[in-house]
Each structure stands twice: as C-alpha cells, then as structure tokens.
Chain A
C-alpha cells in the first residue's frame, strides 16, 4: 500500500518536473522573453533533504516574483540542477547551466560542490548566490561572482568553540569531521577557537561519510572518556554516531553545525538526539520580514525550515539588484549587489561586503528537544 502511494507520488513528481521543464525549452524561452534562474543542490543522494529545501525556496521566490510582474518586464523560469553533493557532478551541472545561459544560480548546497562550480560560473559569466555553503574558501577565492546569504564557518566555528569552552569547562571534547570542504573547514575553525579559549581536545579524527557502522569509532571515544563530541559533518553521519554512542551506553552531548538543521536528523538519531546542540542563524522563520512568506509556505504545507528562506532570499535579492542595476548582466548585478545594499529580504535587511559575504552574520545555538529544535 505504502509502496503504491510512493510510486504515485513519484509519478506525480515526474509529471510536475516535466511540466516545469516545458517552460524552459531553449528556443521557446528565449523568444517569449523569460529569464532563466536555477537552483542547484543535492536533489538525490543522502543529502536530498537539503536539496528539497533549496528547491522549495527557489520555487516560491520565482512564483512570487513572477506574480509581481517579473524582473525588468521579463518572467523568470526556474531550472533545477542536481549535483548530489559530488564535486565532479557539480562541475558538469555548472557547465550545463552556463550553456543554458542561466543568469543566477541559487546554490549549490555543499561547500565541496559550490567551490569548484563557482570557478566554472566565473568563467562563463554566471552569478552565484549560495544559500548554504559556509566554507570560507568559497568567497575568499576572490571570484567576482560569488555571494552567500548564509554565514561562514570561521564565524560559526568561533561561536561553537567559544561556547564549548565556556559551557563545558574541564570536560573531554572530541572533534570529528568527514573530510569534506564543509565538515573539515568547520571542525578546524572550531578547534582553533576552542584551543584559543584554553581547552585542548582529547581527540581529533576524520570518519568516512556514507558508512553506517561507526561503532569502532564510538568505542574509541568511549574509552577516551569523551563527554562532548563536536561533529563537522552532515546530519546522517552525526545522527548515526549519536545513535550508536547511546547504544553503547555513552552519556554524551553532540554539538554540530548548521547541517543538522533538518528534521531528518531527528528521524535518524531518534530519542538519542535529545539535547543535541547546533549553530545556526537565529530562526529566520520568526523574523517579521518573513512572516508573510512563511504563511504562503505553510498554506502549501511546506515547513520553511533550514535553508528554504535562505534560498528564497538569494533569488529575491538578485531580482531586486537586477531591477536596481536596470540590467541582468551578471557583472553589473554583482557590482550593484556589493554597493547597493542593504537589500530588504525575507531574512531582513542584508548587505554584502567586497567578497560577497553577508556583513552581519548571527550564529546562535539551537537545541533538539522532543523532535523539534529551538533556540537555546
């Protein structure tokens, strides 16, 4: 029964994708005067939950902008790309998007994908606003085309390291990461600020993402008497590590970054997830600037959790900048984005610095309780 329902859902999904695709047939689109924008992220694979967030945000933003008359008299057509968080696939999707003359990429999700893809976009003249890639390298590389609506791992790591040192003095801390651009970057920044605050971690190690058995690692943590685990990595692995730690009777608190901000984390960790902490920007759903849009999402039965609103903002800010620049030329829009702020978005007013980072990032701590998360 359940299988049939999922099959039906898939068929419906495919049909919907087909219909969406019709609006973006190359010749037709160019003639009817539409502008192509795209959202690229992990639409399949184990991080597909985040891809769905990016997609939901971009779809709603495009619909809202089109309803209000489009950009410079042209309607927007949304394309969805799937990089599965794989750097190689990200580059090939990036080439594909560039060849389709997409004006804006609201993506990618994983830093490991965003960084190589941004080089392709820079060469091909495509503007990229990532709603989620927090690795400093993404904008530090100095591309003219890279922006992000989220914060950076050095800011996130600073907050996390200082918090751990202050809240858990004298406890044994392990720092783990998955060797991805995002995970390792975050773990390193956290380690730096933790060490600066005078706490030295008991263990610093990498694990292989995509596996399911972390029991050996967990036993090792247990024998070192670790009480706090900081994970620079994604929710699947963090959830599994935590679940297996509780199975082995370890009273441990897990602390992670913004990649744990999905309900899937709780589904995986189960009751073991209780009390897990993570850094994320203060809940954008609760900001007055988002109230109206949040209602529109809720009416469609979508919870604008995690990165949904960040993706919405990426498209929204780009549209406003294009209007202000009176051009969709990516370089002109890029200059306008950097000089013309603050931009009023669902996230509130946002300004970009010369690198394309938001000027006022605000990381706060969230805690998982009873299957939902809230600010500490």
Chain B
C-alpha cells in the first residue's frame, strides 16, 4: 500500500511535466492541424533559459528561495515565449496555405536548428545544478518503508494545476480564447468574421511555449541535469501523451501526460524497469485501435 502510494506520487509528478508539454502540442494541432515537432526543443530552450536565470539571480545574491524561483519561472516563460513566437513567425507562417507536409518538414528543421544552436552556444556537456528546492515530508510508514513527498514534487503538482486552471480559464472564458476556438473550428470563417487569425495563431504558440518553459523550469529544478538533447525524449513522450489524451483536447493532454507517467512508473514498479517504454507505447497503440481519436478527442466532422 505504502509502496503503491510512493509510486503514485512519482508517477503523478512525472506525468505533470509530460502534460505541461503535451498542452503545447495539442493546442498547436488544434488550431492549425500541424504537429509542431520543435516543441520538445522549445521545452529544452526553456530549461536552459531558466538555468541561466537561476545562475544570474543566485550568483548575484539578490534573492533566494521562493522569490527567486518565481522570478526564474517568469523570466524563462517570457523569453521562451519569444522563441515560440519567432519559430512560428519564421518557420510556419510563410508556409501557411502551402501543402500539408511543408510546415511539418520545417518543424523538424526548426527542431534541429534549436538543438544545434544550444549545443554550440552552451556546449555539449551536461549542465548540472545543485539541488535548489530541498526537503519534503514523510507521509506514512509501513514497516521500514517511508513514503516521501518532496517539496519539489508538491511544487510541480501545484504549479501545473494552477497554470492549467489559468489557461483553461483563458481559453474558455476570454475573448482571446473565443477567437482561438473559432480559428480551431474554421479558420477562414473566423477571419471573415473579423478575427485576426495570424495574431491568434501567434498567441497560441506563445502560450504553448510559455507552458513548455514552466515544464523546463520544473524539470531543471527536479532533476538538476540538463543538456541540449533533453527535448527529444521528453518531446516524444509528451507528443504521445497528447495523442493518447486525444489531440486537440486540453484536458486530454494533461490526462494523457498523467497516464503515460503513471504507466511508466507502475510498470517499472511491478514489472521490468527496462520495458517500461514498451509498455507505455503498447498501451498507446491499444488505445488508438479502440479509440482512434484518443481518450477525450472528438471525432472530426467533415464540414460540407
């Protein structure tokens, strides 16, 4: 029981990070029907930016503790959003209206550009940091087994939920959100009705990138080791999460992220550690066989 609880905590905090990144995939897909393969690398850029921010702030000795983390998070979100905006402006917008595969290829290109840029600018070696957020609580004991919930895990879970609530509110309750949903349903009609679709799409990328920045910051603080290549593996997992949850659906992305995190964790917990990815992807395939649109995805209605 205690063991399962501990694994649940591990799985949820891992899944939340996947979920945060999955939102970026799902939002972009929802609005322009394209898989933004560079999104995993935007996450990586976010992690590097928060590393730079953290080093600047802590070495300056200006702040410490919670204030520093909030500042780092904000800085990283702003600058990563700038990257997201630029990527859309440079690599995707000129290709809008081109054939379907064109932006997909430029997305892959953008992913390679970002990876190599960070590799050259920041070096190829891993960048470790000392643990920043330390401590935790012992929730319960079962014999000698103590269930630990670290402060960092609490931080990840609460931040993700808070950010998710804010962005759900943004998408469902504000004029901006309404414009986004309109673009999602029918871009041409939306533009006929006076919505600036280019601007709306830019905003979507900005939001997606700033969520990736949050994930990057959490990742850095939780694991303490980043390199230019982290975007790939995490990106693949998050993309899988978005598909599993039903691509295009915001709650689906978080649900998918949580599920992938939990499947990986519980498979490692009770079966073989090395086959956890096989397990996660098998479940993905099974889900898609029986529910082709994912768990919370809507079947696409062809408009005539």
Contacts and interface: CB of A to CB of B under 8 A. Distances in A.
Q: Do A and B bind each other?
A: yes
A307 to B, nearest CB: 15
Contacts of A7: 121
Interface string A216-235: 11011011010000000000
Contacts of B52: 2-3
B10 A219 contact: yes
A43 B122 CA distance: 14
Given A2-B52, A247-B150, A267-B128, A212 B268 contact: no
A243 B121 contact: no
Contact of B11 (A216, A217, A236): A216
A44 B119 contact: yes
A234 to B, nearest CB: 11
A219 B223 contact: no
Contact of A210 (B56, B233, B272): B233
A45 B230 CA distance: 11
A375 B215 CA distance: 41
A329 B258 CA distance: 60
B86 interface: no
A243 B150 CA distance: 13
Interface size class of B (residues with CB under 8 A): 35 or more
B87 to A, nearest CB: 19
Contacts, number: 115
A43 B274 contact: no
Interface string A19-51: 000000000000000000000000111101100
Interface in B96-126: 119-126
B145 A240 contact: no
A236 B126 contact: yes
Interface string B77-109: 000000000000000000000000000000000
A219 B266 CA distance: 11
Contact of A268 (B124, B126, B229, B277): B126
A205 B124 contact: no
A249 interface: yes
Given A210-B233, A212-B223, A220 B273 contact: yes
A46 B226 CA distance: 9
B165 to A, nearest CB: 25
Contacts of A205: 272-274
Contacts of A10: 120-121, 123
A247 B136 contact: yes
Given A6-B122, A240-B225, A222 B150 contact: no
Given A216-B7, A267-B128, A206 B269 contact: no
A215 B10 contact: yes
Contacts of B233: 210-211
Contacts of A243: 131, 224
A289 interface: no
B302 interface: no
A264 B125 contact: yes
A215 B274 CA distance: 14
Nearest 6 CB-CB pairings of A with B: A44-B124, A216-B268, A215-B10, A212-B223, A267-B128, A216-B265
21 contacts: A3-B121, A44-B124, A52-B125, A207-B273, A213-B223, A215-B265, A216-B11, A216-B265, A216-B266, A217-B268, A219-B3, A219-B6, A219-B269, A220-B273, A222-B6, A240-B223, A243-B131, A243-B224, A247-B131, A247-B136, A267-B128
Given A205-B274, A240-B225, A268-B128, 6 more contacts: A48-B126, A215-B10, A216-B10, A216-B264, A239-B128, A268-B126
